[in-house]
Amino acid sequence: MAVRILTHMAGEAPELIQTVRDIARATQVPEPSAAKLLQSLAKQGILESRKGPGGGFRLVLPASQVFLAQIVRAVEGDGFMDECIGGFKRCTGNPECPLHRKWSGVKEQMVEFLQTTSLDEMLHAPEPESQPVEA
């Protein structure tokens, strides 16, 4: 949801201050969830928050300088990729974990993707081609 919100904000006009209500409507994210996400993103310095009449949120940086990893960290916390897929509390490289060898490669690719994909790329991603529905 945070990526959807930020992609919307970047696509509108990054310098535009938008209210929680307007963002929630435009992104179809429930207003309480949008408010919580916007606050988290503001605390991490991705958004600027202004209170009072005419207040709301706006992007601090250009979309080309905001990467998906920053967004995920803002919402999930710093250890967002530290969990063990095999059920241990943390991914420690423990050889006893039956999935570690396979998961570590996938995890590295995912982290690389998140660190190198910007909001700008999300804005300019090609639209998926609609597939004809077969009867």
83-100 pLDDT tens trace: 766 666 666 666 667 777
Q: Would you give the end-to-end CA distance of the chain in angstroms?
A: 33
Rg (CA), the chain: 18
- Does the pTM surpass 0.95? The reply is no
Q: State mean pLDDT over 77-88.
A: 71
Mean residue pLDDT of the chain comes to 85
In this predicted structure, the answer to whether residue 113 has a pLDDT above a threshold of 70 is yes
68: helix, strand or coil: helix
64: helix, strand or coil: helix
In this predicted structure, the answer to whether residue 58 has a pLDDT above a threshold of 70 is yes
Pair 32, 40: CB distance under 8 Å: no
Pair 14, 60: CB distance under 8 Å: no
